[in-house]
Every structure is written in C-alpha cells, then in structure tokens.
Copies of this chain bind each other. A is one copy, B any other.
C-alpha cells in the first residue's frame, strides 16, 4: 500500500531556496586578514548563486550534469558555488589543494571538469597544471591574487565578479531533479593507488545536513554562528555549509587564514558558537592560546575529527580555556558524519572522559557492524575487535571509478552485500560507543586472531630506551602473519630485545608478543608524517633488516 504523502525530492535546490527565504538575514562573514571582513547576508549569497547559475548556463553553456571544479578556500564565493552548481543539475567537484599535483591532474581529467572556479591566491598552483587539463574550457577567478600566471593559457579566463554582475538574481529555471542524482564529487586521497571518486547525491547531501543539525550531532540553529575550519575541499567541510544554509546558521569563513594566530583572532572578534576541524588545527590553536590568551567563551562546541584527538589536548582546552572539544568520526565515503562522542547524561566531568575519547555513537541512519578476522560478525561487547562496516543513505556504495566513470566496487572496500568496509578496526560497547584502534591494513592476522600493531607500538614507545617503534605484519608459515617489531633506540642505548619483550609481556597477552625484532635508524614516514609500513614490509621481504628471532 503506497502512502498518500507528497513525493517531494530532497535536493540542494530546496536548501538554497529555504536559506534565502526563511533565513535571508543570516550572514556569511569571510575573514580577510588585516582588512574588514567581507559580510554577505544569506539573501545576497542566494541571489549571487542565482547569478552564478545564469552565468554558467547562459555564458559558459553548462548543461546537464557537467562537472564544475572548485579550487578555493572557505569563503562566501565558494558557498555560492556549493549552492548554485548542484541546484542547476551540475556536479560540484571540490579539488583538494593539498594533493600532489599529479593527483590533481588525474582527478580533473578523470572527472572531465569543464570549468574550474579558483581563488586568485591559488593561481600559482593551478596555472602550471592547465596544459595538462584538456577538458577545462573555462577558468573563473575570484578574490585577491596576481592573475598574471594565467596570461596566454588555453582556457577562457573570467573574473567571478564581472561574470555574474548584472545577471538576474531570481527566476532561474531550476531543473526538476531526482534526489538520487549526483550533486557533488570528492576524490579520496588514498595512500595507495589512484584517487577514487565519491559521488554524493542530492539525497545524501540533504539527509546528511539534517543529521548535522540534529541536537545530538552538531545541532546548528539560527542562534549559532559556525566556523568551519575544516576546508570545503575536505568532504564538503563535513557538510557544514549546506547544513548551515538549511538551519539558518550564520557562517564565519576563515578563507586562507588557517594559522593559529588569525584563527584565535577571528574567534575572539566574530564570536562563533560552533567550530569544526582536525586535531592538528586545534593543537596549534591551543599552543597559540597558551602563549597569548584570547576570549573563546563564545564557543559552545568544537568538533574534532579526521584522526583521534589527543586527550591531553582536549583536557588542555577544557581546563585552561573552557572550550569543549567533541570528537567525531567519519571519512570521505561517509559524507562524513559517522559518529559523535557525547558522553551519557548525569556523569561527573571525570566520568565523562572515557566516553569523550571514544569515536562516539552512530546516528540511526548509519548502521554498523564489526567483522572479525574471518568475516564473522562480532558482538558489541566493548572488547571484540573487528573491522567497522557501515551502511546508510549517506554512505558510498561504490566509487566513481572506472575509466568511463562507471561505478567500481573493490572488494577490500565493499562487502559482497554492499556495506562499506571502513578499513578501521575497533570495538563497540553494549551502549553503542565506538572505539577505533587500528587501520585494518595495520593489524596482524595471527591464527584467526587480530593483534593491534598500534597497541604494541604504544607500549614499546613507553619504554625508556625506545625513541620510536613500528610494528608490522610479516608472513609466517604456521600463523599466517606474525608481528615484526622495529625500534629506534634513544642515543646511547643498546638493543636488549629480551628486556623489551618482557616489558611488553607485562602489558599484552603472551600470544601477541613479537618473535622478530630489528633496530632501525629511523621509521620510514609518508609525506604526511605517518609511519610508512609498506616500506618496512618491503625492507623485511628484501632482507634489508637485521632481524633477531627470539625463541
């Protein structure tokens, strides 16, 4: 029996219209460094979005679901692109300006972007790539920055302000969209292989924005001002721009001023109530505040995600600056809102900490299960560790991946029944709190059990002789895999593997203790400073490490 409710699609077009009509007086403030901030009302942003849509269609001939890329900081022009491009049926492709240039070239070509919107300050990055981007016909430049790098380039160059000036601020003939139609495209910057595209739908963007606005998530309201420090080229700034326009929440946009001092200044001056970013940003801000305090009392919630927030940093904010850091977990493939770590009610501050350092609880729209080493589904008992698999309307079911853009479902990323394999290993308690401990590729599969390399590393690094330690899986005839412990010793210390193993033996189960040990001069690292375990495994396989095997 079909219901008799209206069949109205969930679209970005609706978010645009709603923000303009009901919350037209909310503001988007873009930081400009030393100058006066740029302020636009939601009504102005919406009108300029309509002008942008007119320009893209009437002047640049954008039709259908063509991809329009942005290479931009967090600012109100970028928000206009966020609203106009999906609403006109095109696909917003946000380019991560921190990607290696060869990956940038790859993804622009893979997406076949026809237009690139770029901030003037980023032209030194874009201009040299243009000869390698044959699909790009138009470059639209917005904001300050020397334009000379574009002289003589092949694509047509437009100034954003000139392009939209004088065009109608209403009356765009928005297409009737199917909510499952693509709205936005983000490529993951995987450490291995080529970047893979996640193609968000209008439905997923809309539902995700609703969840961001849930009181048990980020809880945006018209009384809030939100400062998205997380870049708009990182998983759509965690959905905050669309969520804020939906909720009527004013936005404070940091543009390119992401250093600790200007962030502290803009918070003290503009008084946002909510902010969101990665732990590195907050660690830098904490050091700045400790050195030169500012008034951060406007902040009711600061969301930290992307990697685990160090508890000492969370405590530092809380105890020295009265700012509450809330951990959240997600990834590009999850839009990204996966879980948020609010403690249960009625606990003392100290009792709250064990909950606050978890990844938190999942919303009803994100279904979770833990898959054990053999693929078996594990109980939620707080101790059974498995790979987190998730399912839901804002979770990727495939990548926009093949050469012709067809969906691809690598089996290490998607289960046979279609759940996303997150690559994260952890536990879930009986009351739904998720704790992630390892990347699946870093756990050691030993005789049907998993050994956490991160746990062994943390214990080893607590030993007074050890400067750094990395544990990797190596092949073992009997157990499938066993841990190899590599350690960097502190100056003047000698390798005493038996003593290190005894030290570990007091902290983990006996069957988890490594037999294979090696001293290394330094642990190889990736470009972002993470342990590069691929290199260690190859060094081991190639016999380059001097390995001692303990009986």
A1-35 contact mask (Cβ, 8 Å, vs B): 1 or 0: 11111111010001101110111110000000000
Cβ-defined partner of A214 (8 Å) among B17, B204, B215, B405? B215
Bound-state Cα–Cα, A362 to B17, Å: 12
Report if A181 contacts B (CB, 8 A): yes
Contact at B4–A400, with CB atoms within 8 Å? yes
Cβ-defined partner of A2 (8 Å) among B15, B182, B197, B219? B182
Query: In the complex, which residues of chain B have a beta carbon less than 8 angstroms from the beta carbon of A216?
Result: 213, 220-222, 247-248
Taking the nearest CB of chain B, how far is it from the CB of A363, in angstroms?
8
Query: In the complex, which residues of chain B have a beta carbon less than 8 angstroms from the beta carbon of A215?
Result: 213-215, 219-221, 247
Query: In the complex, which residues of chain B have a beta carbon less than 8 angstroms from the beta carbon of A432?
Result: 21-24, 248
Query: In the complex, which residues of chain B have a beta carbon less than 8 angstroms from the beta carbon of A398?
Result: 4
Report if A457 contacts B (CB, 8 A): no
Contact at A431–B214, with CB atoms within 8 Å? no
Q: Report if A364-B15 is in contact (Cβ < 8 Å); known contacts: A214-B210, A222-B345, A247-B216.
A: yes
Report if A391 contacts B (CB, 8 A): yes
Bound-state Cα–Cα, A362 to B181, Å: 26
Contact at B182–A3, with CB atoms within 8 Å? yes
Query: In the complex, which residues of chain B have a beta carbon less than 8 angstroms from the beta carbon of A380?
Result: 21
Bound-state Cα–Cα, A248 to B342, Å: 12
Report if A200 contacts B (CB, 8 A): yes
Report if A48 contacts B (CB, 8 A): no
Report if A71 contacts B (CB, 8 A): no
Contact at B396–A5, with CB atoms within 8 Å? yes
Report if A507 contacts B (CB, 8 A): no
Residue on B nearest A401 in the bound complex, by CB: B4
Query: In the complex, which residues of chain B have a beta carbon less than 8 angstroms from the beta carbon of A6?
Result: 391-393, 395-397, 418, 420
Report if A180 contacts B (CB, 8 A): yes
Query: In the complex, which residues of chain B have a beta carbon less than 8 angstroms from the beta carbon of A224?
Result: 345
Cβ-defined partner of A5 (8 Å) among B1, B18, B213, B394? B394
Taking the nearest CB of chain B, how far is it from the CB of A378, in angstroms?
13
Indicate the member of A203, A391, A393 with the most B CB atoms within 10 Å. Answer: A393
Report if A367 contacts B (CB, 8 A): yes
A218-254 contact mask (Cβ, 8 Å, vs B): 1 or 0: 0111111000000000000000000000111000000
Taking the nearest CB of chain B, how far is it from the CB of A505, in angstroms?
37
Contact at B17–A367, with CB atoms within 8 Å? yes
Report if A91 contacts B (CB, 8 A): yes
Q: How many copies altogether? A: 2
Report if A550 contacts B (CB, 8 A): no
Contact at B431–A25, with CB atoms within 8 Å? yes
Residue on B nearest A209 in the bound complex, by CB: B364
Indicate the member of A4, A17, A223, A224 with the most B CB atoms within 10 Å. Answer: A4
Bound-state Cα–Cα, A211 to B221, Å: 12
Report if A452 contacts B (CB, 8 A): no
Bound-state Cα–Cα, A201 to B7, Å: 10
Report if A456 contacts B (CB, 8 A): no
Bound-state Cα–Cα, A23 to B393, Å: 20
Q: Which of A449-475 contact B (CB under 8 A)?
A: none
Contact at A393–B8, with CB atoms within 8 Å? yes
Report if A65 contacts B (CB, 8 A): yes
Q: Report if A183-B3 is in contact (Cβ < 8 Å); known contacts: A345-B223, A364-B18.
A: yes
Query: In the complex, which residues of chain B have a beta carbon less than 8 angstroms from the beta carbon of A317?
Result: none
Query: In the complex, which residues of chain B have a beta carbon less than 8 angstroms from the beta carbon of A65?
Result: 1
Query: In the complex, which residues of chain B have a beta carbon less than 8 angstroms from the beta carbon of A3?
Result: 180-183, 199-201, 203-204
Bound-state Cα–Cα, A182 to B4, Å: 8
Cβ-defined partner of A364 (8 Å) among B5, B14, B204, B400? B14
Report if A193 contacts B (CB, 8 A): no
Bound-state Cα–Cα, A394 to B10, Å: 11
Report if A407 contacts B (CB, 8 A): yes
Cβ-defined partner of A199 (8 Å) among B5, B21, B221, B367? B5
Q: Report if A397-B4 is in contact (Cβ < 8 Å); known contacts: A21-B380, A213-B216.
A: yes
Contact at B91–A344, with CB atoms within 8 Å? no
Report if A187 contacts B (CB, 8 A): no
Query: In the complex, which residues of chain B have a beta carbon less than 8 angstroms from the beta carbon of A183?
Result: 3
Report if A365 contacts B (CB, 8 A): yes
Give 17 A-B contacts (CB < 8 Å), ordered by A residue: A2-B182, A3-B180, A4-B400, A4-B407, A5-B200, A6-B392, A7-B393, A8-B391, A10-B393, A23-B432, A24-B430, A24-B431, A24-B432, A210-B210, A214-B215, A222-B345, A223-B345
- Among all A-B residue pairs, the 7 with the closest Cβ atoms: A3-B201, A22-B432, A215-B219, A223-B345, A6-B397, A18-B364, A1-B65
A contact residues vs B (CB 8 Å cutoff): 1-8, 10, 14-15, 17-19, 21-25, 65, 91, 180-183, 197-201, 203-204, 207, 210-211, 213-216, 219-224, 246-248, 342, 344-345, 361-362, 364-365, 367, 380, 391-400, 405, 407, 418, 420, 430-432
19 additional contacts, CB 8 Å, given A4-B197, A10-B207, A19-B364? A3-B181, A3-B182, A3-B201, A4-B398, A4-B399, A6-B418, A7-B393, A7-B397, A8-B365, A10-B365, A14-B364, A23-B361, A24-B431, A213-B215, A213-B216, A214-B247, A215-B219, A216-B222, A223-B344
